[in-house]
Structure 1
Amino acid sequence: MKRRLAVTAALIMLLATASVPLASYVPPKIVRLAYEAQGRGITYSWGGGHAEEPGPSKGTCSGYTGRIRPCPAARTRGLDCSGLTRWIYALAHGTDVLGPGNTDDHVRKMRRVRSPMPGDLVFFGKITKKGVKTHHVGIYLGGGKMMNAPETGAEVRVDRITRPKDFAGFYRY
């Protein structure tokens, strides 16, 4: 009798907890937040989004190689590509999970996936077992599209993942 009661209780607990959504499953939230960021008209700023706290910030002209001269980053409040992904992931996860580094630093905190899901990050550059040299990242939206901060003078926008030529892979936190 005790065993039957224990098994019944275990089944009830399993059924009750199996239907509860997991709070840590954030990809739909990441995609929603990415579209909200696009709606704010946030401008690209080299180094933007890398202040102590994630989010739009003034950029830097250190290392700037953009086509617009003189460099507008130090006077432009905005985000670069890794600043965008850092901010959106911090909002979705409730903490700064990617940290203030660049695309090379961020990809090292993630795992490569073969079947991307909306909310994963898509990196561009070269990633091998011997080294990482990336230059761009976007938030995968599905259907071959990503949300990204593409270049100086542009706003956060949706682009096809085929726009940059050197796709390096999809990564999940």
Structure 2
Amino acid sequence: MSGKRGALLAVVLLLLAVTASAPVKRYVLPRIVAVAYEIEQRGIVYSWGGGHAERPGPSTGTCVGYTGRIQPCPATRTRGLDCSGLTRWVYALAHGADVLGPGNTDDHVRRMRKVRSPLPGDLVYFGKRAKERLRTRHVGIYLGGERMLHAPETGATVRVDDIARVRGFLGFYRY
């Protein structure tokens, strides 16, 4: 009898070890969507360069490189998020770590892999293809049904929109 118990215990311990070391990324996508909807409810405003402080989350922005329609640039006095700052914060909250880092959309897309069949929680990028390189200019969080959460532009708040509203679709990417 003790031989059977020992074998059973060994199988249970083996199963625990295998499942404990299994990647958990597949379970993060639904969490990303839940966090995205939570953040949408906060009414956070767009700020050029916002969300790129040492830690992810709303911050004042920068006017370096700003070409927006609202002049003079309001970013240095506006606490908020730009599009990559939003995705950085949502992914950090969902993953429990700053997985995308403080860079811009070009930096973030390099950490991702392109997917043909998107799932809610993937990122959707916009911009241009330049030879074998992407030149991104915008990113949003895919919610399903051709909709995304994004920080669209100066003067707007983080919101849900149809993907088709933004030109230059490059594709869906997964961390």
TM-score, L = length of structure 2? 0.88
Distance 1:12 1:96 in 2: 32
Partner-residue secondary structure (3-state), 2:86:
helix
Question: How far did 1:132 drift?
Answer: 2.0
Question: How far did 1:10 drift?
Answer: 3.7
1:125 corresponds in structure 2 to 127
2:174 is the counterpart of 1:154: no
Aligned residues: 172
Distance 1:143 1:129 in 2: 30
1:28 corresponds in structure 2 to 30
Partner-residue secondary structure (3-state), 2:91:
helix
Counterpart code for 2:31: K
2:50 corresponds in structure 1 to 48
Q: Residues 100-115 of structure 1 correspond to what in structure 2 (within 5 A)? A: 100-115=102-117
Partner-residue secondary structure (3-state), 1:162:
helix
Question: How far did 1:58 drift?
Answer: 0.1
Partner-residue secondary structure (3-state), 1:82:
helix
**Which region of structure 1 is more displaced relative to structure 2, 72-81 or 126-135?**
126-135
> Are the structure 2 counterparts of residues 11 and 53 from structure 1 closer, same or farther at C-alpha, using a change threshold of 3 Å?
closer
Question: How far did 1:131 drift?
Answer: 1.4
Deviations 1:26-70 (A, max 9, x none): 111111111111100000000000001000000000000110011
C-alpha RMSD of matched pairs (Å) = 2.7
1:63 corresponds in structure 2 to 65
Q: 1:166 aligns with which of 161, 165, 168?
A: 168
> Are the structure 2 counterparts of residues 129 and 98 from structure 1 closer, same or farther at C-alpha, using a change threshold of 3 Å?
farther
* Long gaps (5+) in structure 2: none
More helix by share: 2
Deviations 1:91-136 (A, max 9, x none): 1111100000000000000000000000000000124662120000
Question: How far did 1:85 drift?
Answer: 0.1
Percent of aligned pairs with the same residue?
69
Distance 2:169 2:64 in 1: 26
TM-score, L = length of structure 1? 0.89
1:90 corresponds in structure 2 to 92
Q: 2:75 aligns with which of 69, 73, 80?
A: 73
Counterpart code for 1:51: A
Distance 1:110 1:8 in 2: 40
